[in-house]
Structure 1
Amino acid sequence: MSINNTQSNETIYTLATISQALECSSVPEVMTLRLENIIRVKTSEWKECLTEIGEACAVKWVINNTNKQPTNITAEEAKATGIKLCFSQEYSCHRWGTYESKVALRVVQKRTKKNKCPALLRVKGFFKTPEFYEFVVTKDHAEHTPGDMRSDICTLPLAKKYLHELAQQL
């Protein structure tokens, strides 16, 4: 373990092996990333791995902050200037934020899917290790369980003819 209590696995995952980095969640057939666990992903496949993680974990990760775009400086130039990161982005859970209706006379018809979920996934690339990027979930989901049909179904805009059928199934 490092000083900041982040656990690190030395394995560099690819699109074919990324599912091995995931754990089972409380929802059947939905996976999760363990909080503060560093997942190393092959640089050339990091976007595909992010998509695969999102699908397996029933979360759409939305760019929250781009700290640094990929640059063309060399590792030696970066070391000389003290730059460590060659790439960094933060992603929030799709249920992050709040929603307020802008229509004054309309009655609220359903709960919003926005519930201030603080879940945060950081993707970082370092000049000293250009062969992989690191994924770390630094904040966990709150106020919802990704993939839980009972909570998610209430936020989806469904045709009225299906609402009765779904209510009976739940």
Structure 2
Amino acid sequence: MRKSVLLFVTFVLFGLLSSAQQTKISEFDLYGCWVLENKKRPSTNIVTYKLCENVAHEDVKFGSKISLLAFNESEHESTGPLACFTTFTEKGTWEFDENSRIASLYSGHEWLKEFKQLDPDEYASWGSPEKFDKLKFRVISIENNQLTVEIIPKQYGKKRTEDSLE
């Protein structure tokens, strides 16, 4: 009798732990304007974004604002190449894979369309990109209007393969 009760309790606990371990996060959960607070960035790639309306303007980290919008549209702050400490809002696109919990933000699609029309040969020599990677992160959690993510570093010069996803 004791073995069957112990076995039953073990299965119940295992079932509860496995269902509570990974809460489903959808694309809709990510919609909104997100910023980093103006604190010292931790040495790891784990950061916590907060909803824009929950952080005072003077406490927002420079250039950290991202807006994830419907229809895979996005906006993010970029810095001007010629003017220090100025930002402008750049439009882009974004994708979210619910299985891997990876969000990817892209920019430059409008500029690349114009470039393709104006100089097709030069565009082709670039490998005919449709967009540029801006930011990629894995969602760890969304709680209390905070989005905790792991930033995935950009890989320059080589394509990402199945082997490099470790």
TM-score (norm 2): 0.32
Bigger RCO of structures 1 and 2 (CA < 8 A, at least 6 apart): 1
TM-score (norm 1): 0.31
Q: Of Structure 1 and Structure 2, which has the larger fraction of its residues in helix?
A: 2
